[in-house]
Amino acid sequence: MTDHVKVPSDRIGVIVGRGGSIRKAIEAKSSTKLEIDSESGSVHILSSEDPIGAMRAVEVITAIGRGFSPEKAFRLFDDEMAMLELMDLSKATSTPKELKRVKGRIIGKDGRTRDTIESLTTASISVYGKTVGAIGRPEQIQIVRAAINMLIDGAPHSHVYNFLERKNRELKKLGW
């Protein structure tokens, strides 16, 4: 079985890692073999024994390609309930200026909004290019998606923070 992932050229070095360390870790954790073409940004994932490992390798490589650090992306290997969600901001914006504004609202001054979303949901967030990525459990992803949509729609940051704090309390009651 072979899967293919296209990765931005500036993220290929992160997938390879110093001395090939990240590549080797992905291969070991997923029982796959990676063929990386740094010219085209193409990553082929070859798997013969573990289809679930190959699917996770595709998710991890996609996550790294969308701006996540390898450590955050490896959560997809370590937590079987973790998932990657990508939200395309270009569908909610019509001009490059509007895209920049929306990305700025999601990141916040000095990264405060992104940090608040991450700390109150324990999901990881990456804003890269025209996408926002989130890694977490389904409940966390649902909350992140709602918060991002609130920010896209122009809700005041204070309302988004209140929403996140309320959802954080609900998750704690459920034992998260």
Domain spans, the chain: 2-69, 83-173
Does the pLDDT of residue 81 top 80, yes or no? yes
Q: CATH for 83-173?
A: 3.30.1370.10
Mean pLDDT of 103-123: 96
Does the pLDDT of residue 2 top 90, yes or no? no
- 122 near 111, Cβ under 8 Å? no
Fold: same for 2-69 and 83-173: yes
Domain 2-69, CATH among 3.40.190.10, 2.60.40.2480, 3.30.1370.10, 3.20.20.100: 3.30.1370.10
Query: Each residue of 114-127: pLDDT tens digit?
Result: 999 999 999 999 99
Does the pLDDT of residue 176 top 70, yes or no? no
pLDDT of residue 173: 86
60 CB contacts (<8 Å, ≥6 apart)? 26, 30, 70, 73, 74, 76, 77
87 CB contacts (<8 Å, ≥6 apart)? 131, 132, 133, 134, 145, 148
